[in-house]
Structure 1
Amino acid sequence: LCEVTGMSREDLVGRSAVELGLFTDQDRARFVKALKESGEIRGMEMGFKNRDGGLLTGHMYSRIIEVSGRPLILTLFLDLTERKRLETSLRRLNKMEAVGTLAGGVAHEFNNILGVILGNAELARDDLPADSPSRSNLKEIIYACLRAREVVERLLCASRKVEVKRVPTKLHGVICEALPLLRASLPPRIIIRDEIRTDTHTVLADAGQVKEILVNLAMNAADAMGKKGGVVGICLENVRLKEERRAGPPPGEYVKLTVSDTGCGIPRENLERIFDPYFTTKNLAVARGMGLSVVRGIVEGHEGQIRVRSKPGQGATFEILFPVAQGQPAGREDPVEPRPEPPMGTERVLLVEDEELLLNLNLRRLERLGYRARGFLDPRAALDAFRKDPSAWDLVVTDMSMPGMNGDRLARKILEIRPDMKIILCSGYVEGISREVVVGMGIRGYLEKPFDLHALAEELRTVLEG
């Protein structure tokens, strides 16, 4: 009991549960009523307070006994807090798996749609004179498509359907870079007070996803403070955990990002649910839905941990611990340079794509780049054409997900006919498919949809000249 409650023997001996404040009033009333009615209790689930005010969960087994003619209650308390935590984690994982399955299907379809919009906008822009006012409109469409592609990546990250690409990073530079945009995005009634240490250790992180964490937490903080406004605190510092805490991170060096607010706070009953997908207490018209779920997905992808402290009326504080990358130098981002003209070619390309809009688009792209291309909607028809004259083609570009025959199977059959055939596989999203996996199949190139003209042109030349 001392271990469970965090109290000493001296604190406990000779004092009643009421004096110690071990139970909530509601649970105590339920316990007393049941004991009076039946004389004993078997496995009643109850909340149990520890010394710090934390709420444990357990089963109570009690009966009334007499000692020296005095009625006493003999009680056995079975602590189920850890079991309940694991059950909650399992339910959360099952829920995220369902969301992940949905996310994968949405990503595939949405990336195909984005590919059509992006590609046609590029072709239309390039057909216009340099001084045409419509070029700026098309530029905005292209930029919006690229932003939408990032949204798909975030959705997949939140559902853990993609691997996080982490490199050695100094987080203070990432956070400072995001602050001006964040200040411009929040309402004027919200004040940001930052305390960013510049001597923070190097961590393995994806800079874009760290910014996503910051934006999501800051937006949620702004929502919590409502129309009256308030203060969002952002702090970045090094911390060292010396002792291992229950259900906490192991001892070691961490970089801690803290985002706090002076808003309405979070009721205790909602604290365990705020990271669930689609859970929100906001009006559905303004709810951001996946925000905190996205944050948790990113943090877990970084092998970190997120903690929240809050009380109603006293704001909320989110703490994120990133483990320090031992012996890793911080990487630097290369300066952005203007993109050169896409490389051209004259080779013969067999293009396979079951989406007619994408097939026509990519045929026009290939022709614009100088290639001689022939397209097929049906992978079986494409295989028959290749089988008739394997030497008629220099390169095969095929989609991955197609009815009747997937792109990887088509590639294997083509390689059986001509083992030296150069192939590029394109995918909107298929779980388990990546550049490394594709190369292991003997396929030379890989493109993730939606890709722009430059990405296509560069991959074509890399594969053909490699």
Structure 2
Amino acid sequence: MPEIRNSNNRKLEKQLKAVAHDLNNILSSTMHSITLLKQKIEKGTDEFSLVEIIESNSNRAADIIDVLLDDKKSVTRTLNVSRLLNEVILAFSSTITPELKIKTDIVGEVYKIFGMRSNVYRIIMNLLVNAKESIEGTGEIYISLSNLNNKKAAEIFPNIREANYIQLSISDTGCGISKENISKIFVEEYSTKNKSGISGLGLNIVKEIVTSMGGYIFVESELDKGSTFTVLFPEFKKKEMSKKIGLEKTILISEDDKILLKLLAELLESYNFKVIKTEDGEGCLQEFISESKIDLIIIDKKMPNLDGIDCVRKIREMKIDVPVILSSGSKGEVSSGLLKELKIEKVLHKPYDFEQMLSLIEELVY
């Protein structure tokens, strides 16, 4: 019986990965379409806001796929913390009693940040759960979110790196934390629950995630009055690429999804790259041999006739070191050893951000 269960689990895992691959291709096409639309719609209009909502939901769908696959390598993306915070509050509200009130002061348009959506969700939810556990009976949780420019940030937090930040504060009217315990709450597995009422379990993970994003977390507390946790997320400033970046540069794209191939080519052409399109590895190899100058290859892992890995292997056998970006609808398909052997510089997991691809192209070609 265990053998049958294991066999069924392996089949299910294989089916899930196949479905995820197809869904990620669809999401890639959707997200590249969004990028093209944002180039053509004026910022600040209702139409632009609708496109941003579609973009946010597409990112959310990608995260759901990662969760279904129990994928620990979620993709980092630009995030709208205001929208994400409202989602977390909605989910959290279903877990509390009527005696516990939530008050919010959330700015709608905050700076964008760059990170894993699932990680930011965990940060917010963990802090809310800790606030809830610190309150016995009636009480309030106050949540605020606002922009903090570099000048104001330096005045309030003099020892932080100079930058613009999003400030997230979560306050409660709970029992508070004693002075001797304040310094311990971010220590691994430390918990003050059942002592001062607040659970510190998981706060070390929160701090690790915040720090890995270049942010900061602070806590202020007073016994019998409550606590305030403040998280500073650094603003993500999109690097403005010149539309002339692609002049005199040729990119060979090999992608078997025709819609995705068309959209990606159109996006690259909007930055003045010369783009050669192929739909399988054999076509890619033929174009590479016939074309006198290729500056970069963007190639899909899974393709008919000749897959991306075998195509790159044949190119490397020619002793040619053209830069290669491998795209894949599933994570973990190619070992780091094989990537190193074939001199594949970068791997992009679908659905990827086009701006992320542009940054990689600039890094590899210039």
Task: Give the TM-score taking structure 2 as reference length.
Answer: 0.59
- SS where residue 458 of structure 1 aligns? helix
Partners of 1:369 and 1:434 lie apart in 2 by 32
Q: Paired residue for 1:123, among 17, 36, 46? A: 36
- 2:62 matches 1:149: yes
Q: Paired residue for 1:432, among 333, 342, 347? A: 333
Q: What residue is the counterpart of 2:274 in the other structure?
A: 372
Quick one: structure 1 residues 339 and 210, their matched pair in 2 at CA, closer, same or farther if it must change by over 3 Å?
Answer: closer
- SS where residue 374 of structure 1 aligns? strand
What are the residue-to-residue correspondences of 1:145-294 with 2, within 5 Å? Answer: 145-156=58-69, 158=70, 162=72, 182-185=88-91, 186-187=93-94, 189=97, 208-209=118-119, 211-212=121-122, 254-255=189-190
Deviations, residues 265-288 of structure 1 (Å, cap 9, x unaligned): xxxxxxxxxxxxxxxxxxxxxxxx
Counterpart residue identity of residue 118, structure 1: M
Partners of 1:179 and 1:461 lie apart in 2 by 33
Deviations, residues 98-119 of structure 1 (Å, cap 9, x unaligned): 4432332122111100011111
- 2:332 matches 1:422: no
Gaps of 5+ in 2: 76-83, 103-115, 130-173, 182-187, 194-199, 216-232
Shift of 1:460: 0.6
Shift of 1:140: 0.9
Which fold has the larger relative contact order, with Cα–Cα distance below 8 Å and residues 6 or more apart in sequence?
2
Quick one: structure 1 residues 132 and 193, their matched pair in 2 at CA, closer, same or farther if it must change by over 3 Å?
Answer: closer
The alignment's C-alpha RMSD in Å is: 4.6
Residues 397 and 424 in structure 1, CA contact (< 8 A), matched pair in contact too:
yes
Partners of 1:99 and 1:320 lie apart in 2 by 34
- 2:289 matches 1:387: yes
Counterpart residue identity of residue 400, structure 1: K
Partners of 2:260 and 2:192 lie apart in 1 by 43
Q: What residue is the counterpart of 1:79 in the other structure?
A: none
Q: What residue is the counterpart of 2:239 in the other structure?
A: 340
Partners of 2:201 and 2:335 lie apart in 1 by 29
Residues 348 and 395 in structure 1, CA contact (< 8 A), matched pair in contact too:
yes
Partners of 1:369 and 1:100 lie apart in 2 by 40
Shift of 1:164: 7.8
Partners of 1:256 and 1:96 lie apart in 2 by 37
Gaps of 5+ in 1: 1-86, 166-177, 195-205, 220-233, 239-252, 259-318
Counterpart residue identity of residue 419, structure 1: I
- SS where residue 60 of structure 2 aligns? helix
State the structure with more CA Rg: 1
Residues 253 and 278 in structure 2, CA contact (< 8 A), matched pair in contact too:
yes
Quick one: structure 1 residues 462 and 437, their matched pair in 2 at CA, closer, same or farther if it must change by over 3 Å?
Answer: farther
Quick one: structure 1 residues 434 and 335, their matched pair in 2 at CA, closer, same or farther if it must change by over 3 Å?
Answer: farther
Q: Paired residue for 1:400, among 286, 289, 301? A: 301
Residues 342 and 453 in structure 1, CA contact (< 8 A), matched pair in contact too:
no
- SS where residue 189 of structure 2 aligns? strand
- 2:49 matches 1:136: yes
Partners of 2:239 and 2:89 lie apart in 1 by 34
Partners of 2:42 and 2:118 lie apart in 1 by 35
Q: What residue is the counterpart of 1:446 in the other structure?
A: 347
Deviations, residues 187-222 of structure 1 (Å, cap 9, x unaligned): 47556699xxxxxxxxxxx89358459969x99xxx
Shift of 1:410: 0.8
Q: What residue is the counterpart of 2:219 in the other structure?
A: none
Shift of 1:435: 6.5
Shift of 1:381: 1.6
Deviations, residues 57-86 of structure 1 (Å, cap 9, x unaligned): xxxxxxxxxxxxxxxxxxxxxxxxxxxxxx
Residues 251 and 275 in structure 2, CA contact (< 8 A), matched pair in contact too:
yes
Partners of 1:378 and 1:164 lie apart in 2 by 27
> How many residues are aligned here?
266
Residues 353 and 377 in structure 1, CA contact (< 8 A), matched pair in contact too:
yes
Residues 352 and 379 in structure 1, CA contact (< 8 A), matched pair in contact too:
yes
What are the residue-to-residue correspondences of 1:11-50 with 2, within 5 Å? Answer: none
Quick one: structure 1 residues 373 and 435, their matched pair in 2 at CA, closer, same or farther if it must change by over 3 Å?
Answer: farther
Counterpart residue identity of residue 312, structure 2: A
Residues 63 and 74 in structure 2, CA contact (< 8 A), matched pair in contact too:
no
Residues 35 and 354 in structure 2, CA contact (< 8 A), matched pair in contact too:
yes
Partners of 1:133 and 1:193 lie apart in 2 by 33
Partners of 1:121 and 1:110 lie apart in 2 by 16
